[in-house]
Amino acid sequence: MDAATNDHGNAPATVAVLDVGKTNVKLSAVEAGGTVVETLSVPNPVLPGPPWRHHNLKSLSEWVLEMLAGLARRHPLGAFVTAGHGSGGVLTGADPDAGDGTVLPMIDYEQPLPAAVRDGYVPLAGSFLDRGSATMHAATHQARQLYWMQQREPRAFSQARWYLGLPQYWAWRLCGVAASETSFLGAQSHLWNVAERRWAPIVAHLGWERLMPPFAKAWQPLGAMRPELVRRFSLPEGLRVLTGGHDSSLNHYRYHAAGLQDFTVISTGTWIVGFSGSTPITRLDEHRGMTLNSDVFGNPLGGILTMGGREFSHIAGIDPPADDVPVEILKRLIAQQTMALPSFGDDDGLFPGSAGAGRILGPPVHTAMERKALALLYCALLTVECLEALGDDRLVVLDGSFLRDPLYAAVVAALLPGRRVRFNLDTHGVASGAALLARQEARRQPAPLILSEPIELAALETELARYAAAWWSLARAAPRLRDDIENTKGSFHG
């Protein structure tokens, strides 16, 4: 049976998509064309340790399988596929049915590293091409997690059979077949050199080759649901399990499947994530949040990421107004040159040396709506900075949570007059892209996609361009020089 059809002939079947995020896990039923018809959600449980803070995969497994059984009763499921955040990997034994299958708990990537692990990892990490990114905070990278496991628990580590990315762990649990996959390994794992399509040197240096299973395509059916699980949870027999991939790469794939070419995607949420397949590798600057990722076909994707959602919250507050920002407030902030400058979090983001230096210049904001307007304006400027760093693709597609306010896309479009800016209000991009994998080899025409045009801010373009020029001058300066630039006659008020 084709993974995208059901037992009733050629009618497209529904795809079950497991989307594993850091905070929440979602299980969705998605039609073959990418339309989400039902979604279930649960917090992603974390336990305190020992040996480290870790995800409760045993509890999550019960939830996934029980909810999958319920979805199967309500929808004609033909395939199962997982998307996952790029900082999650699992060290397993040989038996997927032995507890949760792990030999050591899955590390929560946001916890601080022991100093010995942090310092010992640095000389092993390789070049930028080997890493695909700068070395980021805490336990972010899969290679660093593996190093921590090997140093802290050498006996258990020696008994491991596989090291699996999150999507491939769930595929293995469900069908028993272990696989590696390029889009997930290419998501700052520090294990895979995307440009040269080879393992990073740390893999051989620390003897990890034995843990790495053969490669499979993200859309490849690895096998059917294991009979034990079918019996225990009353799951449909013959449900095909696909390899799966990195969540942001699958969101990018969704636009590829719709037939778009020469485009840059900016996805917004906790992170602002940008991807372009045309960014030259030589253009990538790891010190400005730029990354080298992989699409599902193994091709390089120029990437950029910054914690836009966290920055937004620092400025707008934890409970901003639900209403859209009135354009009059935006105009007033621009006219009076009130600016939020990076970076408010403990990460430099796009601006080296800016961590913790974020502040607001100019006349202060007083109301909650003014703070939200300033946060929106700031994040639109961050988005344009991401786009300018990645290159000059004619088509820009925006998606994610920032699109809830129409002024976000409008400001981005106004600051990019020479490019076509479109946005997608569908908030299920990862689930849709993952489900579209099931038709990758059978697809004969582009997958359906609805893109919208931003509202125009023609009356504001000149003032906005002047504001943006002043903002970029200040934002790109070292924090200690900002006061001098701000006070330079004419540089701030134009």
Helices 247-257, 429-436: inter-axial angle, 10-degree rounding? 70
Question: 86 near 188, Cβ under 8 Å?
Answer: yes
Q: How far is it, in rounded angstroms, from Cα 103 to Cα 93?
A: 6
| Strands 192-193 and 198-199, bridge-based pairing | antiparallel
SS3 125: coil
- Residue 2 pLDDT > 60, yes or no? no
Q: How far is it, in rounded angstroms, from Cα 339 to Cα 332?
A: 12
Residue 95, phi then psi, degrees to nearest 5: -110, 110
What pLDDT, on the 0 to 100 scale, is given for residue 13?
87
pLDDT over 70 for what percent of the chain? 94
- Residue 490 pLDDT > 90, yes or no? no
The DSSP string of 88-122 is -EEEE-S-TTSTTSBSSPPB-TTSPPPHHHHHHHG
Give the single-character DSSP code of 67: H
- Residue 487 pLDDT > 90, yes or no? no
0.85 exceeded by pTM: yes
What pLDDT, on the 0 to 100 scale, is given for residue 151?
97
**Among the listed residues 17, 86, 15, 88, the one whose alpha carbon sits nearest the alpha carbon of residue 57:** 88
Beta strand extents in 1-121 (DSSP E only): 14-20, 24-30, 36-43, 46-47, 54-55, 77-84, 89-92
Question: 372 near 308, Cβ under 8 Å?
Answer: no
Sheet holding 300-306, edge to edge: 290-294, 300-306, 272-276, 263-268, 395-400, 420-424
What pLDDT, on the 0 to 100 scale, is given for residue 12?
57
Question: 286 near 302, Cβ under 8 Å?
Answer: no
Q: How far is it, in rounded angstroms, from Cα 370 to Cα 367?
A: 5
Question: 417 near 465, Cβ under 8 Å?
Answer: no
Tokens of 78: 């033909």
What pLDDT, on the 0 to 100 scale, is given for residue 3?
38
Residue 353, phi then psi, degrees to nearest 5: 85, 5
Read off the pLDDT band of 485 (50, 70, 90).
low
Read off the pLDDT band of 5 (50, 70, 90).
very low
Cis peptide before 87 (omega within 30 of 0): no
What pLDDT, on the 0 to 100 scale, is given for residue 492?
40
The average confidence (pLDDT) of the chain is 93
What pLDDT, on the 0 to 100 scale, is given for residue 491?
40
What pLDDT, on the 0 to 100 scale, is given for residue 489?
40
- Residue 8 pLDDT > 80, yes or no? no
Residue 400, phi then psi, degrees to nearest 5: 105, -170
Q: For residue range 81-138, what is the model confidence (pLDDT) as tens digits?
A: 999 999 999 999 999 999 999 999 999 999 999 999 999 999 999 999 999 999 988 9
488 burial type by CB count under 10 A (0-12 exposed, 13-18 middle, 19+ buried): exposed
Q: For residue range 314-370, what is the model confidence (pLDDT) as tens digits?
A: 999 989 999 999 999 999 999 999 999 999 998 899 999 999 999 999 999 999 999
pLDDT over 90 for what percent of the chain? 89
| Strands 290-294 and 300-306, bridge-based pairing | antiparallel
**Among the listed residues 156, 171, 6, the one whose alpha carbon sits nearest the alpha carbon of residue 72:** 6
Tokens of 30: 């998605």
